[in-house]
Amino acid sequence: MKIRSMKLREAHKNNGVSSFCSILWDLQALHLVTSSSSDTSISIHDPLLPSDTPNILRHHRDGVTALALSPNSTCLASGSIDHSVKLYKFPGGEFQTNITRFTLPIRALAFNKSGSMLAAAGDDEGIKLINTIDGSIARVLKGHKGPITGLAFDPNSEYLASIDSIGTVIIWELQSGRAIHTLKGIAPCIGSDLSTMNVLSWSPDGETLSVPGLKNDVVMYDRDTAEKLFSLRGDHSQPICFLSWSPNGKYVATSGLDRQVLIWDVDQRQDIDRQKFDERICCMAWKPTGNALAVIDVMGKYGVWDSVIPSSMKSPTEGLPSLQSKNSNGLLLFDEEDPEPSTSGSLSDLGEDSHGESEPPSRKRLRKQSVFEDTLEEDVDHELSSYPKVESCKKSHRVHKERLDNGNEGLRSVMSSVRPKMQEAFQPGATPVQPGKRRFLCYNMLGSITTIEHDGYSHIEIDFHDTSRGPRVPSMTDYFGFTMASLNENGSVFANPCKGEKNMSTLMYRPFSSWASNSEWSMRFEGEEVKVVALGTAWVAAVTSLNFLRIFTEGGLQRYVLSLDGPVVTASGFKDELAVVTHASHCLPSDDQMLEFRVFNISNGTQRLRGHLPLTPGSCLTWFGFSEEGQLCSYDSKGVLRVFGNQYDGSWLPLFSASKEKKSEENYWVVGLNASKLFCIVCKNPDLYPQVMPKPVLTLLNLSFPLASSDLGAEALENEFMLNNMHLSQIQKRIEEMEAAGLDTTLLDDEAFNVEAAQDRCILRLIASCCNGDKLVRATELVKLLSLEKSVKGAIKLVTALKLPNLAERFNGILEERLLKEAKGNIAIPLLNSNRAASITADVAGSKTLTSTESSKISEPPISVPPPKLSSPMFTKKAKFQEGAKVKMEKLEQNRTAIAENIGKVKNVEQEKKAGEVHNVGEVKKAGEMNQVQFHRSSNPFAKSSSNNQEKSSLFDSLKKKNDNTGKR
């Protein structure tokens, strides 16, 4: 027999490494799909235009080891070394879901006849039977002792055959899950060579199971008894590594380690043709229509062998049953019309026998079957367009179903596929419904509420992140089917959509502790559906489909019912405040959402804030809530976090952008934030939501403004500067509110001073950067923002060390101007009592030996000190006034002399003498004024200077040292 050869085209770059590659046709032979265990991508080729660039799917993080197409070619499944099994729409390639994960790499995938069941297996020796409609695991089959490399469903849906790397074949009965036949060592042991796999295949009629033999042959086994029937043995000189039945079951193609592909006539039991290749062919697929065989080798090169069967013989597709009967139930994946597919019914297709005696399909499925069959009767040239028609006939239902059933399909992708005019309501911290899987009803900074449906009811669990703080809450059985919840320290609230004949929605509140025995309560709304719930201090809120905001007390009293201006989007509570987001109007022509927010104070019965909610163009709202400090926050689908601040009478500040932070393979699911960190769960692409198991890990990300690239290259310092300003503004507002309420603000004063000190350190670093970058005007602007006296002195020393005397003089002038202004403002303030003044003067007089100039100053009449008064935007530590009075007066006496000495280091002797004379005169003239200024603590931001002396000095020294080192270089 003449050996022919054919040229192959590269589909995947394996970098010279032999790898297992896969190839398959779709139902109508309009597409070829390829993959490689050395390539993370999947390629969808047009066989009529092989030179065109294929459609590339890149969703796996490691090599793709297995492919499978549903019988009607609407769903593509892929398995990978990354342990995941993913589903895609076909032929478009749109990602659908991660339907399951394994602990080790995947090696084999297979759909059953109806496409309702997907079998997946790999190196962890277990086979998962997965319901493709809802993603539930129908059964796990265990019995192999080695990696499973091949799977094949019996065409009659009665058995599943599997083979492992050590040559063991198991035939499983699907209805019971039992292993009815175990054939050990009947196939070659492939060892650690993963470029080829042990495979097996059923004949199209389901009567025969073919397995590679130990004598470089193919052995046929009976479907029921597993007895050996016959073998195909010919010119293969090495073991067979792949085999494939022709569509009509008359021929078998085999590939061997000897780099040959043989075509066998099964009835005659002899090979009729062969091809020799440069590399081993690791996968083959017969063309469903026509006389051709697609092949791919271990180097990722593929090709189509045309006219495989001689024209004098029967075509490999001749005598096939009609396409209608071949796909008898017409099931379209992701388009199931049963509103709640049950896990218990997922095995119904497994018991179908060869005579079709299984339970008749429903009317809905029959109607779908007729639509599918009608499209297949059209001309071949129109068949490609006929498949979208089948899907589009129920497009709106499919999108709705995907939103409910596909937990990994995010709100953003749902909106892009449906393009609704207005965003639907959502509960912050909740994940989409995932039948058969546990999901989050609520996940916030305090804890989480999870639920899973089972046998018509749900099982709800409440967990706290810090188990030492939160109470221990027993799990509950949910007979209402709650889909949303909210959680705080005092209790939890649940709600469900409208259900039952009366179309009723239920709201239920469960306190964690109460003095009464029956403190739990519930409310029902007939013809009105709860959309969002929220909790606060002693109140519960629910927003309904009638645009009603209903507010209840903790005990269940219906307190308020307000009518909102538009449909609700979401809501969140914090202590006495409730924030609600609604649609302000229909979307703009650009599809941008038009949202507004309102903040209510429940205890006072007032509306504190109202305004437009900004979103990134083209985005929707994905999270909304309060920070730990009570700041209102929002996060959109473009990854931008905004916080509402009181600057400019209330503005939204962008404090985080995922596009500048995240890696391309990461998505951030927001949980909450505090003053400096964003708390989120990192989800790997394409997942947009976390799974309950394994338990999610919180990730902390730094808040940062989306700043432009600075000409100084000091974006980090500028960001710190802006964040400190924002925090000071927030603290000032809280101090004003507490003072208005007559509350003690000592703790806030301390917090504000610490932020001031940190801000001064940041400003000093910015000044150093400006000086090094020759941005002296900017440095002058910055020194005016310093709060503490020691910081201003440090800035003067810094620019003096940098040999910038003119800038040092400007800084000195700014300091003198500030002190003079504050001194003038103190003249009208009443003096302290004479006893206190005399006491302070005595302390200063006895503190140390004074110079002649200082002695003359002390001999003057005692100076009364005005009481502290808050008259500037900066903050002070009031408790430190008397404690540091002695040191502060001494420092003021020395301040201006020290400044002049620093400037004199870079001037000539005459300038130094002149500066000293002027300084001494000015010092004597303004001594009394400066003494008064020092004790006007609330107006003067320098009172903390003594307590931060060491810290500020070390900061200056480090900056000076850094500059000296730079100069030496």
| Six-digit token string for 581 | 């987001």
Q: Is 764 helix (H, G, I), strand (E, B) or coil?
A: helix
Q: Compute the distance between CA of residue 653 and CA of residue 495 in angstroms, rounded to an integer.
A: 33
What is the number of other CB atoms lying within 10 angstroms of the CB of residue 952? 22
Highest mean pLDDT of the ranges 291-295, 658-662, 923-927: 291-295
Confidence of residue 477 (pLDDT cuts 50, 70, 90): confident
Q: Is the pLDDT of residue 207 over 70?
A: yes
> What pLDDT is recorded for position 196?
81
pTM of the model: 0.48
Which of the two residues, 498 and 940, has the higher pLDDT score? 498
Q: Compute the distance between CA of residue 5 and CA of residue 689 in angstroms, rounded to an integer.
A: 50
Which of the two residues, 956 and 172, has the higher pLDDT score? 172
Confidence of residue 234 (pLDDT cuts 50, 70, 90): confident
Residues above pLDDT 70, as percent of the chain: 73
Q: Compute the distance between CA of residue 406 and CA of residue 390 in angstroms, rounded to an integer.
A: 21
CA 369 and chain centroid, separation: 39
CB 508 within 8 A of CB 495: yes
> What pLDDT is recorded for position 136?
84
Query: pLDDT for 375-407, tens place per residue?
Result: 333 433 433 333 333 333 334 444 444 444 444
Q: Is the pLDDT of residue 299 over 90?
A: yes
> What pLDDT is recorded for position 362?
39
Confidence of residue 500 (pLDDT cuts 50, 70, 90): low
CB 482 within 8 A of CB 457: no
CA 842 and chain centroid, separation: 65
3-state helix, strand, coil in the chain (%, to 5): 25, 30, 45
Query: pLDDT for 303-331, tens place per residue?
Result: 999 999 998 899 999 887 543 334 433 34
Least confident of 371-385, 431-445, 589-603, 643-657: 371-385
Determine the average pLDDT of the residues in 922-945. Answer: 38
Determine the average pLDDT of the residues in 21-30. Answer: 93
> What pLDDT is recorded for position 770?
92
> What pLDDT is recorded for position 896?
53
Q: Compute the distance between CA of residue 531 and CA of residue 491 in angstroms, rounded to an integer.
A: 19
CB 199 within 8 A of CB 245: no
What is the number of other CB atoms lying within 10 angstroms of the CB of residue 884? 18
Query: pLDDT for 779-835, tens place per residue?
Result: 999 999 998 888 998 999 999 998 898 999 999 999 888 888 878 766 655 444 444
Q: Is the pLDDT of residue 243 over 50?
A: yes
DSSP letter string, 528-568: --EEEEEEETTEEEEEETTSEEEEEETT--EEEEEE-SS-E
Q: Is 845 helix (H, G, I), strand (E, B) or coil?
A: helix
> What pLDDT is recorded for position 351?
40
> What pLDDT is recorded for position 437?
83
Query: pLDDT for 672-697, tens place per residue?
Result: 999 889 999 998 887 888 988 888 88
> What pLDDT is recorded for position 961?
52
Residues above pLDDT 90, as percent of the chain: 47
Query: pLDDT for 132-182, tens place per residue?
Result: 877 888 889 999 999 999 999 999 889 999 999 999 999 999 988 899 999
> What pLDDT is recorded for position 869?
36
Query: pLDDT for 758-779, tens place per residue?
Result: 999 999 999 999 998 889 999 9
Query: pLDDT for 512-563, tens place per residue?
Result: 888 887 788 999 998 899 999 999 999 999 999 999 999 999 999 999 999 9
Query: pLDDT for 593-619, tens place per residue?
Result: 999 999 999 999 999 999 999 999 989
CB 52 within 8 A of CB 68: no
CB 409 within 8 A of CB 97: yes
Query: pLDDT for 265-296, tens place per residue?
Result: 999 998 999 889 999 999 999 999 989 999 99
Determine the average pLDDT of the residues in 692-712. Answer: 87
Confidence of residue 336 (pLDDT cuts 50, 70, 90): very low
Question: For residue 390, what are the CA distances in angstroms to 81, 334, 335, 799?
Answer: 34, 12, 10, 76
- Residue 330 Ramachandran class (φ > 0 left, ψ -120 to 50 alpha, else beta): left
Determine the average pLDDT of the residues in 442-452. Answer: 92
**Which residues, including other chains, have CB under 8 Å from residue 207's CB and lie 6 or more apart?**
222, 223
Which of the two residues, 469 and 791, has the higher pLDDT score? 791
Q: Compute the distance between CA of residue 636 and CA of residue 618 in angstroms, rounded to an integer.
A: 10
Q: Is the pLDDT of residue 470 over 90?
A: no
Alpha-helix runs per DSSP H in 861-948: 885-904, 909-925, 927-935
| Six-digit token string for 879 | 């408790």
Q: Compute the distance between CA of residue 329 and CA of residue 70 in angstroms, rounded to an integer.
A: 13
Q: Is the pLDDT of residue 475 over 80?
A: yes
Report the mean per-residue pLDDT for the chain.
78
First to last CA, the chain: 80
> What pLDDT is recorded for position 904?
52
Q: Is the pLDDT of residue 354 over 80?
A: no
> What pLDDT is recorded for position 789?
83
Instruction: DSSP letter for 203, please.
Output: -
Determine the average pLDDT of the residues in 410-422. Answer: 48
In 444-513 the beta strands, taken as DSSP E runs, fall at 447-454, 457-464, 476-478, 484-487, 491-495, 504-511
> What pLDDT is recorded for position 964?
56
Highest mean pLDDT of the ranges 305-319, 332-346, 936-950: 305-319
Alpha-helix runs per DSSP H in 700-833: 715-740, 746-772, 776-783, 789-801, 805-826
Q: Dihedrals φ, ψ of 857, to 5°? A: -70, -40
CB 281 within 8 A of CB 268: no
Instruction: DSSP letter for 361, please.
Output: P
Indicate the length of the chain as a whole number: 969
**Which residues, including other chains, have CB under 8 Å from residue 354's CB and lie 6 or more apart?**
156, 158, 206
> What pLDDT is recorded for position 711?
84
Question: For residue 354, what are the CA distances in angstroms to 208, 360, 767?
Answer: 13, 14, 84
**In 3D, which of 515, 602, 506 has the Cα closest to residue 553?**
602
| Six-digit token string for 139 | 């059964």
Determine the Cα angle at 573 with ends 569 and 579, to 5°. 45
Torsion of CA 830, 835, 836, 837, to 10 degrees: 70
| Six-digit token string for 468 | 């030492």
Q: Is the pLDDT of residue 417 over 70?
A: no
As to burial, measured by CB atoms within 10 angstroms (0-12 exposed, 13-18 middle, 19+ buried), residue 259 is middle
**In 3D, which of 604, 716, 586, 698 has the Cα closest to residue 660?**
716
> What pLDDT is recorded for position 348?
38
> What pLDDT is recorded for position 758?
92
Determine the average pLDDT of the residues in 422-437. Answer: 88
- Tokens 């005990």 found at: 555
